[in-house]
Amino acid sequence: MTIRVLLADDQALLRQTFRILIDSSGDMEVVGEAADGREAVDQTRAHHPDVVVMDIRMPGTDGLTATSAICADQDLTGTRVLILTTFEIDEYVARALRAGASGFLGKDVPAEDLLTGIRTVASGDALLSPAATRALVNRFLTTADPDAHLTPPESLSALTDREREVMALVAHGLSNEDIAEKLVVSPLTARTHVHRAMNKLHARDRAQLVVIAYQSGLVHPAAP
């Protein structure tokens, strides 16, 4: 199945470079381009891509605002956002995750890593670059944000004890294979628990599951 990608960046040359790279990959295609956040939202609603590769700093509506609009749109639940920017800063990582982004990469990543990142996000998994360390995410996801809609702890009541346990492990950065090894279950069983938790909490992907885990108080940031 071909992964449909929309590019949002104010630099035309960069969009053209990404288009050539993506269209030549064999398993994905670019279905649209946008030069600013407003256009990114409009193009996403028009094309319903699987992944939007989104720059943060663009004229007018920025990438984080556009990401929030896309992720809040009930008609776009099948679209995921991969933030790609030269400004790989702690605060941006947290804001991108809060906005609903599924991944975050610096623009200096090798071409193959970008393609892998798009595939990862399209599959429903979260993607954080090496610079977005677990401690960094722990620290900023719990920072007070007047625009954040925190998840009430009681919303987790729909989860079984095992699903809560698995969700906490996801929030600490463990993969399905890591969870399986820790709980002595198969990777398929671990994946099933993760997806059940996501479905019950209406989380679009693992990244949002991590945000919910911290904002609901299921897990807490590590001590400095």
Domain boundary among 81, 102, 132: 132
Looking at residue 207, what is its pLDDT?
Answer: 76
* Domain coverage including residue 38: 3-132
CB distance 219 to 171 below 8 Å = yes
CB distance 79 to 50 below 8 Å = yes
CB distance 219 to 134 below 8 Å = no
Q: Is 27 helix (H, G, I), strand (E, B) or coil?
A: coil
- Pair (119, 170) in one structural domain: no
DSSP state string for 115-178 = HHHHHHHHTT--EE-TTS-HHHHHHHHTS--TT--PPPGGGGGGS-HHHHHHHHHHHTT--HHH
User: Domain containing 7 — which CATH number?
Assistant: 3.40.50.2300
pTM over 0.75: no
Average pLDDT over residues 46-74: 93
Q: pLDDT tens across 205-219, in order?
A: 787 888 888 888 888
CB distance 84 to 52 below 8 Å = no
- Pair (8, 117) in one structural domain: yes
- Pair (187, 158) in one structural domain: yes
User: Could you tell me which of 10, 174, 168 has the C-alpha nearest to residue 86?
Assistant: 10
Domain count, the chain: 2
- Pair (38, 121) in one structural domain: yes
User: At residue 94, does pLDDT exceed 90?
Assistant: no
User: At residue 151, does pLDDT exceed 70?
Assistant: no
